[in-house]
Structure formats: structure tokens, C-alpha cells
Structure 1
Amino acid sequence: MRIGEYVNPWDAAFSSLFSAFCGGIFPLGAMFFLPEQIKFVGTIVATAIAVAITGNLSAILGKSDRKSAIVRNVVIGLITVAIHWYVGRMF
């Protein structure tokens, strides 16, 4: 970006909406289509795959190290899954 250029907030909003939708397809599919016996683990694996893909894409678009982006996304994604699971168990 050059000085004076900006990101259109509507473009950013729709980009975030589209990204969240695409990233949620894997875990949602696992929750709906996997057998009950492997649904829990399968959803975690599907989430790890989804965040690995987004880490890879972000590294490609940002022209940065792909391995570190993927590892960072997977670690943060799995921590987020653990937090959500724990909060869900509280209620």
C-alpha cells in the first residue's frame, strides 16, 4: 500500500465473512457427518486442517514463511478449541 491508500471497510467485512464461512466448513462438516464415536476427535482434526489451510494461504498472500504461519495457526486454533470446549463444559 502507498501512503494515502486505504482498505475499504466493506471489502474487509465481506472478506472476513467469506473467510470465516470457508474456514468453518471443515469443522461443521465433521460435526454433521462423522459417526458419533469419532465426532469429537474428528472435529478437532478438521479444525486443525482448516487453520493449517488458512495459515498457508496467509503466508502465500503475505509472502512470508509458510511453515511458521501454519504452525502458528494450528497452535492458536487448537488452544482456541480447548478454551471453547472448556467454557462450553462450564454451562
Structure 2
Amino acid sequence: DFLIKDDISKELAQRAASEMMKTKPIETAVRVKHGFNISDKINPYHAALASFISFPIGATLPMLAILMVNRSYKVASTSFGVLLALIITGYLAARIGNNDRKKGITRNVLSGLFTMTATYLIGRLLHK
């Protein structure tokens, strides 16, 4: 349909679409539907480097919060440690991938807080 909108005959459009989908169907579908080349946006080396850096930072800050704070403040301090780790790792991942830093931080914080809250609530339910 996208090729027909560009004033190409239906037969030629179908033939062109079939030809383009033969070699790299996912890349072609993303390029046609969303208007960008997937290989320009996704870099496995950036993802690996971001993970390599994020794991120790994401684990160290909450662990320090657990180990260094009085028992009555552990949940709050751990939550703060996780939030700080999410901000730092979101920023670093966006910077490594040359992406928007605010979006990277926001995405990381929201998904991390959702995951942390769900995990905490499930733990509370199972603990009772």
C-alpha cells in the first residue's frame, strides 16, 4: 500500500515489495513503515557496553544503601539507591548510544520503578 500511494502501479508495487522482503524482511518493514534504517538506530556493541557499565552501577548503589543504613530505613534508602542508579545508567546508556539523554533517563526510571514496585509487592504477598 505504501508504494501504491507513491503513484506506482499495483503490480509493480507488489513485485517491489516481494523483492525487498526476500533478503532482510525486518529491516525492510521497519524502514518502510517507520521511515528509518534500523541499522542506524540499533548497535549491538553500544548495547553490550551499556549493559557492561550498567550492571555494576545498578547493583552497587542499592547494595551500599542496604549495607550502610539502619534497618528501619532500608526500604527507603534502597529505593533511593535504585532511583539514583536508574538515573545514572539511563544517562550513560543514552550517551553511549548517542540518543536523547532525557528520554533515556525517563525510560529507564519509569520501567525500573515499575519493575521494582511490582517485585516489592509480589514479595510482600508471598512473605505473608
Q: Same fold (TM over 0.5)?
A: yes
Letter aligned with residue 58 of structure 2? G
Match for 1:30 among 43, 48, 65? 65
Describe how 1:1-91 pairs up with structure 2 within 5 A: 12=48, 16=51, 19-91=54-126
Gaps of 5+ in 2: 1-38
Give, in angstroms, the shift of residue 72 of structure 1: 1.1
Output the TM-score relative to the length of structure 2.
Answer: 0.56
Unaligned residue ranges in structure 1 (runs of 5+) = none
Cα shift at 1:85: 0.4
State TM-score, norm by structure 1: 0.76
Larger Rg: 2
Higher RCO (CA < 8 A, seq sep 6+): 1
Contact kept in structure 1, 2:50 and 2:96, CA below 8 Å = no
Percent identity among equivalent residues?
33
Count of aligned positions? 83
AA at the equivalent of 2:111: I
| RMSD value, Cα | 2.4
